């Protein structure tokens, strides 16, 4: 520990500094009242429709944060859950939240309680609907499967960190005829959600969800800042591509050597 | 009893495993009592084992033993901090649980700079591919161009603050989504064989491990009686399921 | 001054045994209780500030450790990195105390069903039975009690592991039904995805290779052999698409992390008055 650990270098300061600058700058300008545009995200626009369907059918909804713990992914899932529970509270529809992490379970309970309070119906909050099942991946999944069937859920939301169990959940959701919306930053599970859910939030859209749903200036500003951050990364890759191409074509050029020692070396190669 | 169980543990284990396998597979047809029973066994065992493992692997060696056996008394403060979670059940002092949650959230968020560097810097680096160079064929160059086109098109799909009304951005983002589908298809396709292997594993267990046990048990009369009763029960259950109840017919008439 | 502080610190950190240990532990718990008592009396207007400060400090430690690595010139070591294993241990240990919160929820739900002899009460009974059986047998096994290793093994290997691997293997069935549905009724996009999936699937099995075995192994036409197409999809379009997602997710996670760290996150949980 210590000598073998890697630490920030000049490239980290520049790249991450730029990303942080864009995000914070846009948050500040949004909080000062600047109007920001966010394009439509179909999967997220369908959330309200899905809540409405459960209300019409008089059946409960299910929201699972997957295997998320108290991490950035888990907290983002809670932000989305807050929106869904508020909508559900408005229409008097039950939301069942099976969790797989004891820490996130407690946060989920708080979020749900707050959402019902915010809608002025604290009496609708049923602590038994926010459940801790197990921290074992497949025990949790089998519990969610059982819940899907026994409660005959009309709508199922899967937002958070998922692993192999994703398909088990969504296929059982299909069996009970639930409308299903999923979102996860776990790339390997997106195909299974796409194949078995009605709407799927892909990759980065997951982090855009809370801003999109709440229209809260801070979150919108952050989302716009993220776009600038992605532009920075594109620019970085384009400059890098030019540098390596020049390096391959004209290895003796001074500028090539300079680029190698001042730019390219900070981005270790060999992954993928 | 304990001695008998200990003596026959391997066979009992196989029978339990076979029962568990059938119970879980029964959900493929429909959720049923058999599945539900085993679902609760599963959750009970997983959580109970979790408690045991938490003590045996974490709290015991990392907290209790250093505190009690090695005399590092200051580990007692960890219990005090841990107790802060439980203030969430207090109406008046629930905010104290937020302090400990805040600490955990801070720690989760604080690792972001290192994570970004360790996970994504190498990926940025390996995305910097030479388009041309000595020893590169036209096909190699074309391949790299395809890589860049797909990368940029897909990234353009994830821009949220630009309106996709402009024909160029709209088409690029739309193409990006289609390219993403190719990527997802690749993940889907590459996963299938692995998942099939899992099923083959269970099937293999039933044939090669459980099969011989069934053969041994078949030689005994009680087993034949149990199987006979089970078959009768299954037939009755199936008939009940397929025949609508008489009362319902009477109402309809 | 500094030296006497160091002496006090060394004296406090010394391992204790017997009665001294008991006194020190009780003392530590007493100080902890006092600390919690003080927290209980904090006026409402300071509460949010305390939570924000604690969140910030938690994030600051890990950020400084990476971004501003301070190296002790005398020892040649990085103090912040050196304490990392201790911090990680503390985090794990404290996190473990939260496990009971989840278990309490399970006990409440199943306890209620069992007390009322409600519908499916026997499921709740088996939950309690298995929960306590495996936990108790685990501890007894570690103590070497006769017969417990075998009984633990029945529960662990016979039930738990088997239930786990069977549930995992369910995916083999569901993957087929999901693929079928994606082809049949889902969008054109899902269909497109499944075409790519089929190519990859075929490319990874010998049957797939046989289908295009009639194509030459070298030259232009060899590029159309299924295994080559599959390999190309995996290493080129798939890699590019996955990178694009990864970069977006990276920036998104950084932004969310930053908002949480600086207490800029919004939503009911973060906005609530404490």
pLDDT tens, residue by residue, A147-202:
999 999 999 999 999 999 999 999 999 999 999 999 999 999 999 999 999 999 99
pLDDT cut 70: percent of chain A above it: 97
Question: Helix B33-53 crosses helix C99-116 at what angle (to 10 degrees)?
Answer: 140
Q: How confident is the model at residue B244 (pLDDT cuts 50, 70, 90)?
A: low
User: Between chains, do B198 and C171 touch, taking CB under 8 Å as contact?
Assistant: yes
Place of tokens 């966010």: A38
- Find out whether C199 and C233 touch, Cβ atoms under 8 Å: yes
Residues A32-49 have pLDDT tens digits of: 988 888 888 888 888 988
Q: Calculate mean pLDDT across residues C69-87.
A: 88
Closest CA to B214 of B20, B11, B5: B11
Residue A212: closest C-alpha in chain B: B160
Q: How many CB atoms lie within 10 A of CB B38?
A: 27
- Find out whether C230 and C248 touch, Cβ atoms under 8 Å: no
- The answer on pLDDT for B93 being more than 70 is yes
Question: Helix C18-40 crosses helix B95-110 at what angle (to 10 degrees)?
Answer: 100
Return the H-helix or E-strand segment holding B188: helix B167-204
Q: Which residues pair with A161 in a beta bridge?
A: A66
- The answer on pLDDT for A13 being more than 80 is yes
Question: Helix B167-204 crosses helix C188-203 at what angle (to 10 degrees)?
Answer: 50
Tokens describing residue C64: 């400084």
Tokens describing residue B52: 């045991």
Phi/psi of residue C235, each to 5°? -95, -20
- Find out whether B161 and A223 touch, Cβ atoms under 8 Å: yes
Chain B contact present for A269, CB below 8 A = yes
- What are the residue ranges spanned by the domains of chain C? 98-185
- Cα A131 from Cα C106, distance rounded (Å): 7
- The answer on pLDDT for B243 being more than 70 is no
> What is the predicted pLDDT for the residue at A260?
87
- Cα C218 from Cα C225, distance rounded (Å): 10
- Cα C72 from Cα A81, distance rounded (Å): 46
> What is the predicted pLDDT for the residue at A4?
63
B118 interaction partners in chain A (CB closer than 8 Å): 6
A163 interaction partners in chain C (CB closer than 8 Å): none
Those residues whose C-beta lies under 8 Å from the C-beta of residue C46, and which sit 6 or more positions away, are none
User: Between chains, do B105 and C160 touch, taking CB under 8 Å as contact?
Assistant: no
Closest CA to B97 of A110, A34, C238, A47: A110
- Find out whether B199 and C174 touch, Cβ atoms under 8 Å: no
> What is the predicted pLDDT for the residue at B253?
39
- The answer on pLDDT for C269 being more than 80 is no
> What is the predicted pLDDT for the residue at B68?
93
Average pLDDT, chain B: 90
Tokens describing residue C69: 């690595």
Closest CA to A210 of B209, C85, C255: C255
Strands A179-184 and A199-202, sheet pairing: parallel
Q: Which residues pair with A61 in a beta bridge?
A: A95, A155
Chain A contact present for B179, CB below 8 A = no
Q: How confident is the model at residue C181 (pLDDT cuts 50, 70, 90)?
A: confident
> What is the predicted pLDDT for the residue at A271?
37
Closest CA to A114 of B95, C260, C53, C257: B95
> What is the predicted pLDDT for the residue at B252?
43
- Find out whether C170 and B28 touch, Cβ atoms under 8 Å: yes
- The answer on pLDDT for B249 being more than 50 is no
Q: Calculate mean pLDDT across residues C58-73.
A: 91
Residues C189-211 have pLDDT tens digits of: 888 888 999 999 999 888 888 99
- The answer on pLDDT for B189 being more than 50 is yes
Residues C108-163 have pLDDT tens digits of: 999 999 999 888 899 999 999 999 999 999 999 999 998 899 999 999 999 999 99
Using alpha carbons only, what angle is made at residue A81 by residues A80 and A86, rounded to the nearest 5 degrees?
Answer: 105
Chain C contact present for A167, CB below 8 A = yes
Q: Would you call C122 exposed, middle or buried from its count of C-beta atoms within 10 A (0-12, 13-18, 19+)?
A: middle
Chain B contact present for A10, CB below 8 A = no
Tokens describing residue C271: 């906005």
pLDDT cut 70: percent of chain C above it: 96
Closest CA to A81 of A55, A120, A107, A53: A107
User: Best mutation site among B188, B191, B202 for testing chain C: the one with the most C CBs within 10 Å?
Assistant: B188
Average pLDDT, chain A: 91
Closest CA to C273 of C34, C9, C43, C65: C43
Helix (H, G, I), strand (E, B) or coil at A231: helix
Helix (H, G, I), strand (E, B) or coil at A66: strand
- Ordered structural domains, chain A, with CATH: 10-36+220-266 (no CATH), 42-215 (3.40.50)
User: Between chains, do B187 and A187 touch, taking CB under 8 Å as contact?
Assistant: yes
What is each CA distance from A90 to A87, A121, A136, A216, C19, in whole angstroms? 5, 8, 34, 20, 60
Chain C contact present for A174, CB below 8 A = yes
């Amino acid at each position: 520990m210590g000598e073998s650990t890697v630490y920030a270098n000049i490239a980290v300061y520049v790249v991450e500094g730029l990303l942080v600058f864009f995000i914070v700058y846009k948050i500040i300008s949004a909080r000062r009242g600047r109007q920001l545009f966010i394009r439509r995200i179909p999967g997220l626009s369908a959330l309200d429709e899905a809540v409405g369907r459960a209300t019409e059918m008089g059946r409960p909804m299910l929201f699972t944060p997957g295997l998320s713990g108290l991490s950035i992914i888990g907290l983002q899932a809670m932000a989305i859950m807050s929106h869904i529970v508020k909508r559900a509270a408005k229409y008097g529809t039950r939301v069942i939240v099976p969790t797989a992490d004891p820490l996130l379970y407690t946060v989920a309970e708080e979020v749900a309680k707050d959402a019902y309070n915010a809608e002025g119906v604290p009496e609708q909050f049923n602590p038994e609907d926010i459940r801790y099942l197990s921290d074992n991946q497949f025990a949790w999944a089998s519990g969610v499967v059982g819940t899907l069937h026994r409660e005959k859920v009309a709508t199922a939301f899967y937002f958070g960190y998922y692993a192999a169990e994703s398909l088990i959940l969504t296929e059982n959701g299909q069996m009970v005829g639930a409308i299903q919306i999923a979102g996860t930053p776990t790339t390997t599970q997106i195909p299974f959600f796409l194949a078995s859910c009605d709407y799927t939030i892909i990759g980065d859209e997951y982090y855009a969800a809370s801003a999109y749903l709440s229209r809260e200036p801070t979150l919108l500003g952050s989302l716009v800042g993220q776009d600038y951050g992605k532009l920075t990364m594109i620019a970085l890759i384009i400059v890098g591509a030019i540098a390596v191409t020049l390096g391959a074509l004209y290895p003796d050029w001074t500028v090539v050597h300079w680029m190698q020692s001042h730019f390219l070396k900070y981005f270790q190669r060999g992954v993928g | 009893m304990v001695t008998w169980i200990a003596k026959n543990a391997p066979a009992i284990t196989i029978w339990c495993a076979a029962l568990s396998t059938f119970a879980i597979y029964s959900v493929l047809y429909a959720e049923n009592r058999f599945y539900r029973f085993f679902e609760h066994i599963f959750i009970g065992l997983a959580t109970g084992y979790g408690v045991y493992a938490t003590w045996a692997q974490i709290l015991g060696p990392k907290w209790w033993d250093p505190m009690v056996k090695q005399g590092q008394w200051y580990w007692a403060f960890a219990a005090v901090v841990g107790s802060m979670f439980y203030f969430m059940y207090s109406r008046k002092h629930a905010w104290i649980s937020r302090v400990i949650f805040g600490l955990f959230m801070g720690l989760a968020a604080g690792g972001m700079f290192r994570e970004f560097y360790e996970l994504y810097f190498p990926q940025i680096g390996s995305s910097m591919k030479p388009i041309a160079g000595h020893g590169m064929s036209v096909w190699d160059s074309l391949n790299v161009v395809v890589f860049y086109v797909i990368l940029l098109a897909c990234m353009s799909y994830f821009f949220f603050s630009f309106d996709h009304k402009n024909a160029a951005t709209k088409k690029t983002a739309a193409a990006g989504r289609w390219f993403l589908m190719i990527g997802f298809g690749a993940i889907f396709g590459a996963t299938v064989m692995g998942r099939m292997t899992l099923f083959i594993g269970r099937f293999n267990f039933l044939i090669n491990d459980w099969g011989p046990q069934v053969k041994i048990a078949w030689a005994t009369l009680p087993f034949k009686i149990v199987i006979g009763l089970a078959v009768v029960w299954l037939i009755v259950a199936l008939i009940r399921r397929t025949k609508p109840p008489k009362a319902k017919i009477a109402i309809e008439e | 001054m500094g030296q006497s502080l160091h002496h006090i610190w060394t004296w406090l950190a010394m391992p204790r045994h017997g009665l001294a240990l008991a006194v020190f532990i009780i003392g530590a718990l007493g100080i902890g209780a006092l600390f919690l008592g003080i927290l209980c009396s904090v006026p409402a207007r300071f509460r949010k500030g305390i939570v924000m400060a604690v969140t910030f400090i938690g994030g600051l430690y890990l950020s400084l450790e990476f971004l501003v690595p301070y190296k002790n010139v005398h020892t040649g070591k990085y103090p912040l990195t050196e304490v990392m294993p201790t911090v990680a241990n503390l985090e794990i240990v404290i996190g473990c105390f939260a496990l009971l919160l989840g278990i309490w929820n399970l006990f409440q739900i199943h306890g209620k069903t069992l007390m009322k002899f409600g519908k499916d009460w026997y499921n709740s009974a088996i939950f309690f039975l298995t929960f306590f059986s495996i936990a108790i047998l685990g501890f007894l096994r570690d103590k070497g009690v006769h017969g417990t290793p075998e009984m633990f093994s029945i529960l662990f290997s016979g039930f738990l592991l088997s239930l786990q691997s069977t549930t995992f293997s369910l995916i083999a069935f569901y993957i087929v039904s999901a693929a079928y549905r994606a082809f049949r009724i889902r969008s054109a996009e899902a269909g497109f995805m499944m075409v790519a999936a089929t190519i990859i699937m075929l490319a990874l099995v010998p049957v797939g290779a046989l289908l295009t075995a009639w194509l030459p192994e070298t030259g232009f036409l060899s590029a159309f052999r299924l295994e080559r197409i599959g390999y190309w999809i995996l290493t080129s379009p798939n890699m590019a698409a996955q990178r694009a997602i990864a970069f977006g997710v990276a920036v998104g996670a950084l932004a969310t992390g930053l908002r949480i760290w600086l207490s800029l996150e919004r939503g009911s949980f973060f906005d609530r008055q404490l």
